[in-house]
């Protein structure tokens, strides 16, 4: 059986901890080449995982590997657009790690390029592939809690990366919201069925950072009357990490971490949570399932979960969040 050939560009922590180790264990996948601005790093990683080719020059990698089906982009955010556009032009499908870009304009260029070249584009939103999240989505989509009207989400944790660019707005695009908040924005909008956003009110703080926010509190109203709140921080003074997504419907509610499903029947609220054993490491398992899904996408076996159009809907809200925080008032989304 022929293997799906992939190339990976940007060999930071997320690639080294998740993408490369997971893909290396897949029997139907071959990582044909890796690329990084630090050639020594690329060579070291290639040697460790038995990858035949390593590069510093992305154009050269594309030119010398015509059999590669797709490129996985795990580089810093300001490079996403250029790398994605070059990949599409070379006839490659693309998985780009979140966020898709620094702003809506860049995201739109990426999405339009994928459509122009008729190539597949998937954005890395691994938390959609958490077992508890997928189960919750099944209950919400099945109307087990009635029509959802309010989602309350949040993620407070230590800063994801200590690389210098991570705290530079011109390179990262933003701080904790583009790092963790966009994940919760995605989960919230996904649970609500990606309704059209109406307005955003946001407050950002930078207690321990200079150029980007380290805490963000956001309220989003949608045209269908539903509401989403998002709380993210690298610096809230609390013990441990907190990751939550609570969905409230007209006849019940659901939550994760731990998974809980409640449904009102005969004027009483019942716990209808299924008895399932969750993976010990939801984070790692979500990446495994996401990458397995992407391989199926490349091979035309399934439709894309987390596509370009959804990314544009998210980035429109992201732009409004930063504008609202800057102006100190609610922003209406046109």
Q: What is the CATH number of the domain that holds 132?
A: 3.30.360.10
Give percent above pLDDT 70 in the chain.
100
pLDDT at residue 300, rounded to an integer: 96
Q: pTM above the 0.75 mark? A: yes
Angle at 289 between CA 285 and CA 293, to 5 degrees: 170
Statement: residue 1 has pLDDT above 80: no
Statement: residue 97 has pLDDT above 70: yes
Q: Verify that 215 and 297 share a domain, yes or no.
A: no
> How sure is the predictor about 163, in pLDDT bands with cuts at 50, 70 and 90?
confident
Statement: residue 92 has pLDDT above 80: yes
Q: Which pLDDT tens digit goes with each residue over 233-263? A: 999 998 889 999 999 999 999 999 999 999 9
Q: Verify that 164 and 245 share a domain, yes or no.
A: yes
Q: Verify that 318 and 175 share a domain, yes or no.
A: yes
Q: Which pLDDT tens digit goes with each residue over 294-320? A: 999 999 999 999 999 999 999 999 999
Q: In whole numbers, what is the pLDDT of the chain averaged over residues?
A: 96
> How sure is the predictor about 159, in pLDDT bands with cuts at 50, 70 and 90?
confident
Listed residue (205, 212, 83, 220) closest to 149, CA to CA: 220
pLDDT at residue 162, rounded to an integer: 82
Instruction: Give the pair of three-digit tokens for residue 182.
Output: 């966009």
Count CB-CB contacts under 10 A for residue 334. Answer: 5
Q: Which pLDDT tens digit goes with each residue over 101-149? A: 999 999 999 999 999 999 999 999 999 999 999 999 999 999 999 999 9
Q: Find the domain containing 303 and state its range.
A: 4-126+288-307
Q: Verify that 43 and 30 share a domain, yes or no.
A: yes
Q: Which pLDDT tens digit goes with each residue over 8-39? A: 999 999 999 999 999 999 999 999 999 999 99
E strand map for 10-68: 29-35, 53-55
pLDDT at residue 80, rounded to an integer: 98
Q: Verify that 92 and 171 share a domain, yes or no.
A: no
Instruction: State the total domains in the chain.
Output: 2
Q: Verify that 114 and 170 share a domain, yes or no.
A: no
Q: Verify that 211 and 319 share a domain, yes or no.
A: yes
Q: Verify that 222 and 198 share a domain, yes or no.
A: yes
Dihedral sign, Cα of residue 186, residue 188, residue 192, residue 194: negative
Q: Verify that 117 and 152 share a domain, yes or no.
A: no
pLDDT at residue 130, rounded to an integer: 97
């Amino acid at each position: 059986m022929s293997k799906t050939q992939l190339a990976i560009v940007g060999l930071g922590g997320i690639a080294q901890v998740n993408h490369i180790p997971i893909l290396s264990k897949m029997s139907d996948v071959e990582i044909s080449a890796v690329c990084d601005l630090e050639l020594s790093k690329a060579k070291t990683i290639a040697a460790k995982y038995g990858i035949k080719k390593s590069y510093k020059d992305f154009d050269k990698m594309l030119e010398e590997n015509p059999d590669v089906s797709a490129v996985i982009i795990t580089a810093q955010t300001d490079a996403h657009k250029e790398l994605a556009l070059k990949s599409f032009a070379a006839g490659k499908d693309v998985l780009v790690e979140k966020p898709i870009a620094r702003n809506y304009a860049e995201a739109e260029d990426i999405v339009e390029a994928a459509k122009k070249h008729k190539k597949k584009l998937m954005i890395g939103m691994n938390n959609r592939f958490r077992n508890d999240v997928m189960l919750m989505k099944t209950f919400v989509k099945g109307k087990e809690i009635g029509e959802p009207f309010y989602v309350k989400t949040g993620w407070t944790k230590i800063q994801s990366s200590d690389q210098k660019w991570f705290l530079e707005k011109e390179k990262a695009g933003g701080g904790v919201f583009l790092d963790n908040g966009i994940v919760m924005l995605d989960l919230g909008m996904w649970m609500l069925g990606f309704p059209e956003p109406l307005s955003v009110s946001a407050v950002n703080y930078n207690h321990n950072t200079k150029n980007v926010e380290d805490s963000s509190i956001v309220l989003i109203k949608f045209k269908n009357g539903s509401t989403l709140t998002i709380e993210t921080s690298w610096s809230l003074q609390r013990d441990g990490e907190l990751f939550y997504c609570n969905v409230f419907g007209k006849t019940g509610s659901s939550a994760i971490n731990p998974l809980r499903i409640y449904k009102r029947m005969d004027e009483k609220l019942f716990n209808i949570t299924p008895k399932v054993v969750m993976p010990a490491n939801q984070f790692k398992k979500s990446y495994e399932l996401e990458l397995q899904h992407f391989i199926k996408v490349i091979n035309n076996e399934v439709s894309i979960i987390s596509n370009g159009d959804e990314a544009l809907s998210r980035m429109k809200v992201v732009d409004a969040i930063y504008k609202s925080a800057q102006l100190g008032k609610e922003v209406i989304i046109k």
